Amino acid sequence: MAERLLTARTGRVPHHGPVTQECPVECLLSVLSLNSFNPLTRADDAPFAEPRTVGDVMDLCTRRQLRKIRGIGPRRVSEIEAALVLAGLNLAGHQQRPASQEGPAR
C-alpha cells in the first residue's frame, strides 16, 4: 500500500527507474517539456495513432514521422530526440520492424 501512495502522490510522472521502451509516454515528462509532450501525445493530423509507449515514440523518431504531427516542427523533433537520448534510450540502435517498401530516408 505504501508503494501505491508513493506513485500516486506525484501524479504527473509515473516513473520508477530507468525509462524503457515499454514505459508509457508519460515517463518522458521527466525529460520532455509539456510544449512538446502535448502535441506529441495527441498526434493531431498525423496519419498514425497517438504514441502510447516510449517505444512508439522511438519508432516515430526513427521513421521520421514526428514532423507529420501538427504542432511539431524541426525544433520539437530535435527536442524529442534529445529527450529520448537523455532518458537513456538508444535511438541509433533502435530497429523498427523492416518495412519492405521503405528505402533509406535520404
Nearest distance, CB of residue 19 and Zn ion, angstroms: 5
Q: Which residue has the cell 537513456?
A: 88
CA angle 91, 84, 64 (to 5 degrees): 60
Binding mask 67-96 for Zn ion (x = CB under 5 A): ------------------------------
Between 71 and 82, name the residue whose CB sits nearer to Zn ion: 82
Contact of 47 with 55, CB cutoff 8 Å: no
Binding mask 20-59 for Zn ion (x = CB under 5 A): ---x---x--------------------------------
Crossing angle (nearest 10°) for helices 74-86 and 34-42:
100
